[in-house]
Structure 1
Amino acid sequence: MLELHTFSHSSASYRVRIALALKGVTSQNHAVSLIANDHLGAAYQAINPEGRVPAVVTDQGILTQSLAIIDWLEDTHPQPSLYPADPWQKALCRAFAHAVASDIFPVQNLGVRRKLMADFGADEAATTRWCAEWIAKGFGALETETARRGWQAGAGYLFADVPTLADICLVPQMNNARRYGVDLAPFPLLVAADAQARAHPAFLSTAPETQAG
């Protein structure tokens, strides 16, 4: 059985938990609290030298980085797929997911917020504004791209009749947007897509509020 090192409110951890649930793959979960700095301790850094979550321990070794873990799951458990079948739509799905995971999320994660406080004297209100600004900027682009594809509320999930990597990345980031008080009114398509996905059992059963630690 896989061992998953995860933190309840980590967006990257939530992505992997969703993917595992969609694939029907069970894991033994180990809570790594970012608030208590478990990720900075020697025990966890022996598992993941980056000191980040998630990490999975497999029969072949340890794998880190949420999108790499999800792609490995896709390769080793191909059904149900987390991508649309059409190659172009698959590429667009990947682009959407990477816009969240590579562009929006990194500038508002815990390490960045702590650095803003420690080195630049930013208080909680300032770091919240920082996070909200970058999330809104990224969401603006994704809303435009989603509209350009002709996706409409009620049309199913973002790229297929089942959740894909795009939905897996969107829902945790929407959690962050709400946490930082982002005005979501300008993003009605993303709000609708989020509502559609988060009602799926795989998203409900792995949501932060269901997790230990």
Structure 2
Amino acid sequence: MTRPVIYDYWRSSASYRVRIALRLLGIDFERVPVNLLSGEQKDAPHLARNPQGLVPVLDIDGQRLTQSLAIVEYLAETHPDQNLLPTDPLGRARVRALSHAIAMDIHPICNTGTVNHVLEITGGGDPVRRAWMGKFIGDGLAAFERMLDNPATGRFCHGDRPTMADICLVPQVHNARRWQVDIGNLTRIGAIVSACERLPAFEPITAPDP
């Protein structure tokens, strides 16, 4: 069987999600870095992989997949015994809602392309960037904390095994730390992230690709 290949960027939250999922499932994979800062994602070779010019892209099972949550759901459906998505419809709906709260509501607003365009049209600099990140990451994670006030929350976002919700949460908390967003009062998030970070699958890449 051909080894899966992920085209990603070391600091990309979406790429981090897919790496976590692959590791949770015990799937060995190869990384091919795509340098977002140099604009490599907009070069012809990467656009041939993904016309959106985004990462990650995953080559697996003879197929090429894009969009991190679609990839994670594919992995969940092809490895149902690992419970990245719960087996019951209500549980799946809750995990998807938690995941979407980050991947569809926080992440796009704080994406590098979005923020850079805001700076361009406003003439703002780093203080504006940090204020923007603080506002939307802080508000988004505060809402996520309230969503965790639910009997279905366990050691992790949903029960006592990591799901797609945890796969989305941890990279977003890493972004909060990067931008020095104060989330110390979000105690449920803090406990869940601590539990996740004790698992090798959640280990981040901490230095740029050479």
TM, length-normalised to structure 2? 0.92
Shift of 1:37: 1.6
Distance 2:8 2:136 in 1: 25
The one-letter code of the counterpart of 1:199 is: R
Structure 2 counterpart of 1:38, from 15, 40, 44: 40
The question of whether the paired residues in 2 share the 8 Å contact of 1:129 and 1:180 is answered with: no
Shift of 1:30: 0.1
Aligned to 2:123: 121
Aligned to 2:55: 53
TM, length-normalised to structure 1? 0.91
Structure 1 window deviating more from structure 2 (58-67 vs 107-116): it is 58-67
Aligned to 1:167: 166
SS at match of 1:132: helix
The one-letter code of the counterpart of 1:209 is: T
The question of whether the paired residues in 1 share the 8 Å contact of 2:5 and 2:31 is answered with: yes
Structure 1 vs Structure 2 CA RMSD:
1.7
Aligned to 2:183: 184
Shift of 1:59: 4.5
The question of whether the paired residues in 2 share the 8 Å contact of 1:19 and 1:70 is answered with: yes
Distance 1:51 1:208 in 2: 22
The question of whether the paired residues in 2 share the 8 Å contact of 1:23 and 1:79 is answered with: no
Percentage of pairs with the same residue: 37
The question of whether the paired residues in 1 share the 8 Å contact of 2:152 and 2:159 is answered with: no
| CA displacement 1:138-174 (0-9 Å, x = unmatched) | 11111112124474xxx42121221111110000000
Distance 1:119 1:208 in 2: 32
Distance 1:147 1:103 in 2: 19
| CA displacement 1:161-195 (0-9 Å, x = unmatched) | 21111110000000011111111123111111111
The question of whether the paired residues in 1 share the 8 Å contact of 2:34 and 2:40 is answered with: yes
Structure 2 counterpart of 1:99, from 98, 101, 105: 101
Unmatched 5+ stretches in structure 1: none
The question of whether the paired residues in 1 share the 8 Å contact of 2:152 and 2:158 is answered with: no
Shift of 1:15: 0.1
**Segments of 4+ moved more than 6 angstroms:** none
* CA gap 1:117/1:196 in 2 versus in 1, 3 angstroms: same
Shift of 1:65: 0.2
Shift of 1:210: 6.7
Q: Which has the higher contact order (CA 8 A, sep 6+)?
A: 1
* CA gap 1:74/1:210 in 2 versus in 1, 3 angstroms: farther
Distance 2:182 2:189 in 1: 12
Unmatched 5+ stretches in structure 2: none
Shift of 1:79: 2.8
The question of whether the paired residues in 2 share the 8 Å contact of 1:84 and 1:160 is answered with: no
Distance 1:57 1:192 in 2: 34
Aligned to 1:81: 83
The one-letter code of the counterpart of 1:140 is: A
* CA gap 1:211/1:29 in 2 versus in 1, 3 angstroms: farther
Structure 1 window deviating more from structure 2 (32-41 vs 81-90): it is 81-90
The one-letter code of the counterpart of 2:173 is: M
SS at match of 1:51: coil
| CA displacement 1:9-63 (0-9 Å, x = unmatched) | 1000000000000111122210111122211211211111111100012354321
